[in-house]
Amino acid sequence: MLNDPARAAATVYLADAAVLGGGVAQNVAITVAADGHITSVQPGAREGARIAGLVVPGLANVHSHAFQRAMAGLAERAGPEGDNFWRWREVMYHFLSVLTPGDVQAIAAQLYVECLRHGYTSVAEFHYLHNAPDGGAYADPAEMARRIAAAAQDSGIGLALLPVLYRWGGFGGRPPSPGQRRFLLTPDAYAGLVETMAREVAVGVAPHSLRAVSPDDLRAALQVAGPARPVHIHIAEQTTEVADCLSWSGARPVQWLLDHAKVDARWCLIHATHIDAAERQGIAGSGAVAGLCQTTEANLGDGIFPLRPYLEDGGRFGVGTDSNVSTSPIEELRWLEYVRRLESRARNVSESRQGASVAASLLHRAAAGGAQALGRNAGEIAPGRLADLVVLDPAHPALVGRRGDALLDAWVFSGNSNPVRYVMVAGQWVIRDGLHPHGEAIAAAFGRCMTRLADHL
């Protein structure tokens, strides 16, 4: 049982075990200051409020479209001539035509609680639903963004809000379609939205994609980003996108971006699925993070990211829920490895060091890359970092009898039940015994929203 005394200037927790930089350590005292940062970490300690279980760093969800949580299952009908991403997108546009601001808040809050329960402690919300269904502006231009912020506040998840600049319907300034009218902002309106929300929450910038912003629009977004804000962009998700970019510019999407923007460690390139060797090496050399969303990429039939050679190049990655057909970081990591096993007909392919734990490697890389992508001072249990912590129950059937890194291997590669027992975000417990304090009320609001939507779809 977790003993959580009243927070003083600092609280010392004594974890039965914790994942530190050198592996799993026993009896770890973790001191958390009132501002939510870790001030000291001491293995082999004896005093503190006991945390019964294995403490691991919380993971950042590097890419989420929260409203799509309510779409799950709506596009799983075969078409007369097969199906693809572009048909899925038309289903999404129809779904958007009936969403209200209240719906968006209810859906996002439910999503964020589900993410917390599975071990995500923060989320990068790639937010492009700005306008009313007819494309007109709300009286408060930040109405929809504030709904996302309110959902994060209600759930307690750490939020990096990424307002999206979306201008065009395709490469070369193709006019947007009616289904895209809720996304559209002028560069000036976009800059105003980013600066407004920056006074309330942590923000980054997100030029949607090279097909949805012109080179001038991209430069405008980067000016808003300044020298410090995270920059996220969809890139090279589909082969059609690559072909269209080649036709427009003579270059592949990632290569065009590397040639025309100063891509560095602030950037997160979402998907980057269809890249050649030079592009792969260019991403790795830039210090940017590849935002990999394996369950969505599988659901949409996107393709397979070249993970093993990218890691050999020194590339960094984080994982995200994207369309939210899954809200578990473990499923994302598991399928990052499994898809490569199917592709290569080999095992343990994402880790080349003899005897090294595949799960420990994936978790370490995803935690570090995710924190970097969000610009969040987290990703490891270490002094100076935010106390974004996840506590696993070692007596859970998925983990019982395992020790050290074998606990992590069992967590990632064993079963579908959830051994996450407690979750802390910036020093505050938001999940206790697997439950969220406002979970029932949030689920009820989500249920009312889904019932209303069912009557309109």
**pLDDT mean over 242-246:** 98
What domains appear along the chain, each with residue ranges and CATH number?
Answer: 10-57+389-425 (2.30.40.10), 59-374 (3.20.20.140)
Residues 282, 255 contacting (CB under 8 angstroms): yes
Query: Which tens digit of pLDDT belongs to each residue from 350-374?
Result: 998 989 999 999 999 999 999 999 9
361 membership: H or E segment, kind and range: helix 358-374
Tell me the one-letter amino acid at 438: H
Residue 344 confidence (pLDDT) above 60: yes
Residue 1 confidence (pLDDT) above 50: no
pLDDT number for residue 2? 44
**pLDDT mean over 260-272:** 98
Which contacts (CB < 8 Å, 24+ apart) does range 352-361 have?
352/308, 352/312, 357/405, 357/406, 357/408, 357/409, 358/409, 358/412, 358/413, 359/333, 359/405, 359/408, 359/409, 359/411, 359/412, 359/413, 360/19, 360/23, 360/405, 360/408, 360/409
| Segment among 93-102, 234-243, 290-299, 381-390 with least mean pLDDT | 93-102
How does residue 205 score in pLDDT terms, banded at 50, 70 and 90?
Answer: very high
Query: Which tens digit of pLDDT belongs to each residue from 214-239?
Result: 999 999 999 999 999 999 999 999 99
- Mean per-residue pLDDT of the chain: 95
Residue 38 confidence (pLDDT) above 50: yes
**pLDDT mean over 420-427:** 98
- In 225-311, the DSSP E strands lie at 231-235, 267-271, 289-292
Higher pLDDT, 88 or 57: 57
d(CA 256, CA 233): 13
Q: Which residues are 267's β-sheet partners?
A: 231
* Cβ-proximal residues to 198 (8 Å cutoff; 6+ apart), any chain: none
| Segment among 48-62, 286-300, 307-321, 342-356 with least mean pLDDT | 342-356
Residue 3 confidence (pLDDT) above 60: no
Of residues 103, 322, 388, 405, which has the active-site annotation?
Answer: 322
Residue 33 confidence (pLDDT) above 60: yes
d(CA 292, CA 60): 12
Give yes or no: 322 in active site: yes
Of residues 127, 271, 396, 436, which has the active-site annotation?
Answer: 271
**pLDDT mean over 314-325:** 97
Residue 87 confidence (pLDDT) above 80: no
Residues 179, 94 contacting (CB under 8 angstroms): yes
**pLDDT mean over 265-273:** 98
Query: Which tens digit of pLDDT belongs to each residue from 135-166?
Result: 999 999 999 999 999 999 999 999 999 999 99
Q: Which residues are 61's β-sheet partners?
A: 123, 319
d(CA 291, CA 233): 9
Give yes or no: 94 in active site: no
